[in-house]
Amino acid sequence: MKPSQSIFSFTLITVTLIFFTTLLPACLLEEPKEEGAQFVLLIHGGAGTILKENMKPEMEIKYRAKLTEALEAGAEILSNHGSSLDAVTHVITILEDSPLFNAGKGAVFTAEGVNEMDASIMDGRDLNAGAVTGVRNIKNPILAARAVMEESDHVMLFGRGAEAFAETQKLTMVEPSYFYTESRWKSYERAKERAQKNSDEKHGTVGAVALDLDGNLAAATSTGGMTYKMKGRIGDSPVIGAGTYADNESCAVSATGHGEYFIRNVVGHEIASLMKYGGSSIKEAANYVILKKLKDQGGDGGIIAVDNQGRFSMTFNTKGMYRGYITSGGQTGVMIYDDEP
């Protein structure tokens, strides 16, 4: 089948998402493999204490619909022989523009009551990478991260310097009020009352990893950080090797969770190294790092990862993780809770 041909019917994707979510064997979620040219796209919308009994039905519908929209958009790019880099970039902008997630429009508030966002992206072909951190005026931080990667000599830019660079790249700049959402402000007020003891509202970071029809891997992550984070705090999302990593010789990884643990363990690179140098499968590597290493240290969160053969894993040690996947073979699904296959 030519890459330009439609791999599946997008008009039926909502139905197939429900079908595969309920019936697809768990083993296919962890290490599916197709022969010949293929693409794979995985997305996440954050991990944390996400319980069905606490989720309003109308909100669950919104989350699943937005994840589905992002998957469809990314799959359309990949099915038409678009690059993994373009796919993950576009997917992240969709999630950043949604107030549902802790990235872009829905970013959480810091201890100072402002929105400060981080994002990073990495190209598995040549290990090129870009990141921004502590930005307050860039509508889509992931576009700024990509501009840093492609239009500068640097990997990471911070705060006002990153914003000034984004302006030179003619990216959309907005007033800080754009990022305000009522639900995030209420989370901030609750966190303020608990003096940083809030552990139930950390989820929401967004990420995407992809393998394209040319066999190239890419990863991208975007976040508003931790609710009520102290001034100057930077998590793992903009740190290449921790929250984001991609290498065509192994895999692409995007992480979400308690960033300090992901930084200390260099989670993205650790998973790739276990595969590249230790001979582990993507499932084995992800399970060891997330379910054993991080868990033993008290670190919570999860990852999405795809290897250069199209095998993938969505591994987390929390009660839930907003996540979804789609492949050139028509396998697709959107899940939220820990008891979904």
Instruction: Give the residue numbers marked as catalytic.
Output: 205
Pairwise CA distance, residues 298 & 294, whole Å: 6
User: In terms of C-beta density within 10 A (0-12 exposed, 13-18 middle, 19 or more buried), how is residue 226 classed?
Assistant: buried
Pairwise CA distance, residues 78 & 229, whole Å: 36
CB 323 within 8 A of CB 340: no
Three-state DSSP at 305 gives strand
Give strand ranges (E) for 18-66: 40-48
67 DSSP assignment: H
Pairwise CA distance, residues 210 & 251, whole Å: 9
- Nearest CA among 111, 85, 177 for reference residue 139: 177
